[in-house]
Chain A
């Protein structure tokens, strides 16, 4: 399985000086693989924003920087964010495909959702505006919940506040199609995608 990737090694960690291997040129946040520092990337500069906690290693079908195939398309996992909901956690994997298109793969106890970020202006300011089971046109609210960001690995296209509470709402369009609205830090993001069968993932 081949995925052409240019790794940018022109930047160094401001904490330990080690080379930062950047797989995605629009990354905003990266964790130094040597010292675990979180580094914010802005234009040509790098800025240390603190030390991240080390995430416990959990078994996963997806591994950082190891490409996988789903429905004949190859995806490269570049980073992941872990959210805790008390008794457990779920992970959001930041991926790029062969055309450098960005995707997010959410993995929660064997449930996989592959989504793309979309620009939608919605009249909703909070997840409290939604009630599970209610309909909005072709959308049905199937789930809402929250989790606290406990850490990240790899590189991400946006900055992240560790410890921040993160609310989400799942809107089903039927037949596995899904829209997710995320609310965090007065910011709303919308994603479109689908539930995917982990049996179809080829590592």
Chain B
């Protein structure tokens, strides 16, 4: 809790205001940059950071006030770390203080901004075992171990709730679930857990009245993949695909069109029947039924419109013809020789009259054919293009999203970290990725196959 106190710098006697509550353990004099130990009754000077100031100037400064996540904070201190292995990899933690909500951090890393607070609900897992987990459930969110590294303190300013001397080392394990992350920090004395959240830059700069000096680098492990419009379209496309597939499936199981006409023919006479489809919503189902396969195979069937032959069916061949020039448009697959019942689906125009002719082949074979003409089964010609467009749209979003994630992983060197490499591949084998919703290809594959099957089923 905060009582604003003032002490004098042990080195230069400059007055130092203490803003940061009761847990502050060290302060760096803003004039001479001496780091003073506040836990020592003599306010002992521990080190000095004067020589490194200009190398680490950032848009945020100690003393600035601003609102993050709806809380009024004051920046009371900062500590800059450098990766031990890659010293150019630097980031700065600004220590925030709110009298109501306590301490938090605003992290500045190559233009990216993160907000983090102590996380108390991390399960009891030893430091060495954390990378062995494929994911860790914390507060109903699964975090994936992502990276481990060691960093050293290179610069300190203002107040801190611990004593951070130059070159003090801390080990980190990062777990991610963008836009959130968990940072496990192991110092000489303790292990602490922090939950971080990726912050929107402009709003944060505005909140602290800070001037943006650097555009964020392209990638950050916690930066969420943002294509809001494309994402919305992709979600719509996903549901359109789903609904079309469901609709097609439902109709194919239970076609509920109307019966137009029916007729029976025998082996003695040529039988004709005129019929008119009432709608283009359904295909015309020509259902042929006989008592035996031999009887069924004793008839030829033709469909004409205005004297033009459109369809011909014999026991050995089936064709559709072009309306104008009588050329064969498509050869169709013939039924099985032993069938007693056959279904032929035709895409015929509504309100046109068609003439069905049933001709016996051998008048000596005693046979009767029952023919029913129904409007049945949805005609997918209307919606199949919606389906195709939806697949394309959805695939584009998923592909961009997948590529982005790959780039983030590569940028963060996830494939080069030996410890995490094994774990990453254990956690997400190529098959797991393939079938996961996030990866998307499994779903795309499934839906494309499903769509093709439906189209083949209904095309004539």
Q: Which residues of chain B come closer than 8 Å to A195, judged between CB atoms?
A: 120-121
Closest to B123 in A: A174
Please determine whether B123 and A88 come into contact, CB atoms closer than 8 angstroms: no
Q: Does B23 contact A (CB under 8 A)?
A: yes
Please determine whether A58 and B102 come into contact, CB atoms closer than 8 angstroms: no
Q: Does B38 contact A (CB under 8 A)?
A: yes
Please determine whether A175 and B121 come into contact, CB atoms closer than 8 angstroms: yes
**B residues 12-45 touching A (CB-CB < 8 Å):** 21-25, 38-39
The minimal Cβ–Cβ distance linking A35 to chain B, given in whole angstroms, is: 26
Q: Does B213 contact A (CB under 8 A)?
A: no
Q: Which residues of chain A come closer than 8 Å to B121, judged between CB atoms?
A: 175-176, 195
Interface residue stretch chosen among B93-101, B271-279, B439-447: B93-101
Q: Which residues of chain B come closer than 8 Å to A85, judged between CB atoms?
A: 22
**Contacting B103 at CB < 8 Å: which of A87, A110, A133, A172?**
A110
Q: Which residues of chain B come closer than 8 Å to A163, judged between CB atoms?
A: none
**A residues 40-92 touching B (CB-CB < 8 Å):** 56, 58-61, 85-89
Please determine whether A58 and B190 come into contact, CB atoms closer than 8 angstroms: no
Size bracket of the B interface: 20 to 34
Closest to B121 in A: A176
Q: Contact mask B112-151 → A, CB, 8 Å, 1/0?
A: 0000001011111100000000000011000000000000
Size bracket of the A interface: 20 to 34
Please determine whether A174 and B124 come into contact, CB atoms closer than 8 angstroms: yes
Please determine whether B1 and A88 come into contact, CB atoms closer than 8 angstroms: yes
Please determine whether B21 and A88 come into contact, CB atoms closer than 8 angstroms: yes
A198 and B24 CA atoms in complex are apart in Å by 21
Query: A58 and B123 in contact (CB under 8 A), knowing A85-B22, A109-B23?
Result: no
Q: Which residues of chain A come closer than 8 Å to B101, judged between CB atoms?
A: 61, 110, 198-199
A61 and B163 CA atoms in complex are apart in Å by 29
Please determine whether A110 and B123 come into contact, CB atoms closer than 8 angstroms: no
Please determine whether A87 and B122 come into contact, CB atoms closer than 8 angstroms: no
Please determine whether B23 and A176 come into contact, CB atoms closer than 8 angstroms: no
A85 and B22 CA atoms in complex are apart in Å by 8
A132 and B98 CA atoms in complex are apart in Å by 28
A81 and B220 CA atoms in complex are apart in Å by 45
A58 and B102 CA atoms in complex are apart in Å by 13
**A residues 179-201 touching B (CB-CB < 8 Å):** 195, 198-199
Q: Contact mask B68-101 → A, CB, 8 Å, 1/0?
A: 0100000000000000000000000000001111
Query: A140 and B124 in contact (CB under 8 A), knowing A87-B22, A109-B22?
Result: yes
Please determine whether B122 and A110 come into contact, CB atoms closer than 8 angstroms: no
Closest to A62 in B: B100
The minimal Cβ–Cβ distance linking B140 to chain A, given in whole angstroms, is: 11
A60 and B98 CA atoms in complex are apart in Å by 11
The minimal Cβ–Cβ distance linking A137 to chain B, given in whole angstroms, is: 11
**Contacting A88 at CB < 8 Å: which of B23, B139, B190?**
B23
Please determine whether A173 and B124 come into contact, CB atoms closer than 8 angstroms: yes
The minimal Cβ–Cβ distance linking A180 to chain B, given in whole angstroms, is: 13
Q: Does A138 contact B (CB under 8 A)?
A: yes
Q: Which residues of chain B come closer than 8 Å to A158, judged between CB atoms?
A: none
Please determine whether A61 and B21 come into contact, CB atoms closer than 8 angstroms: no
The minimal Cβ–Cβ distance linking B414 to chain A, given in whole angstroms, is: 27
A110 and B101 CA atoms in complex are apart in Å by 4
Which residue of B24, B69, B99, B121 has the most chain A CB atoms within 10 A of its CB atom? B121
Q: Does A111 contact B (CB under 8 A)?
A: yes
A149 and B76 CA atoms in complex are apart in Å by 28
The 6 closest A-B pairs by CB, nearest first: A88-B22, A110-B102, A174-B124, A195-B120, A176-B121, A109-B102
8 sample A-B contacts, Cβ–Cβ < 8 Å, listed by A number:
A56-B3, A109-B1, A109-B22, A110-B98, A111-B118, A175-B123, A198-B101, A198-B102
User: Chain A interface (Cβ within 8 Å of chain B)?
Assistant: 56, 58-61, 85-89, 108-111, 132-133, 138, 140, 172-176, 195, 198-199
